[in-house]
Amino acid sequence: MASSTTSPISLSSPSSSTLVDAKAAPRHTASSQCVTLPTLPPPPPAAVHSQTTSRAARTTAYCRKIARNVMAMATGEVTTAEVATTELPEFVKTIQKTWEKVEDKYAVTSLAVAGAVGLWASAGVVAALDKLPVVPGFLEVVGIGYTGVFVYNNLVYKPDREALIQKVKDTYKEILGTN
């Protein structure tokens, strides 16, 4: 049933290939070598669609950027991306200093994991409640009602607003300590 015809696909012989066998080539471990990547062909002429040209230009620019990074890593140079990542923002330094001051790191880590698991579980409960037919609308009405009561009790009159602000400041000082 199957005929033995020749396939139109031709395979190139290993001798005409441009790849080099890693076993055949000796490796130099003592000296740094620069590896250059082949460049991409120039973008198609402007008569072709402009979107194709801009895509090709972006691809060429990206490939050149990658080639520069590869050459820099091969020669041991420091790239600008590495320099930018080594400088830490101020809040990261603050977090590191605070973490170094913590005495019971095990307890803090356990609380963080428990908080993450609790958040994940509550998200699951909310997703399950959201699938019920009447419950989401009812909970939305309850939330709007509670928001109205909170605004009326704490934000409408000036003495109530000042009391709420003072309570928030006291809670803030209690959590962070008096400075």
**Average pLDDT, consecutive stretches of 10 residues, N- to C-terminus, the chain (179 residues):** 50 48 51 71 61 70 75 62 65 88 91 96 93 92 97 94 95 81
**9, exposed or middle or buried, with CB in 10 Å at 0-12, 13-18, 19+?**
exposed
b/e map of 11-27 (b: 16 or more CB within 10 Å)?
Answer: eeeeeeeeeeeeeeeee
The pLDDT assigned to 57 comes to 76
Tokens of 12: 């190139």
The pLDDT assigned to 93 comes to 87
| Pair 158, 164: CB distance under 8 Å | no
Give the global pTM. Answer: 0.36
* pLDDT tens-digit series, residues 38-54: 887 776 665 555 555 57
Q: What value does the mean pLDDT of the chain take?
A: 77
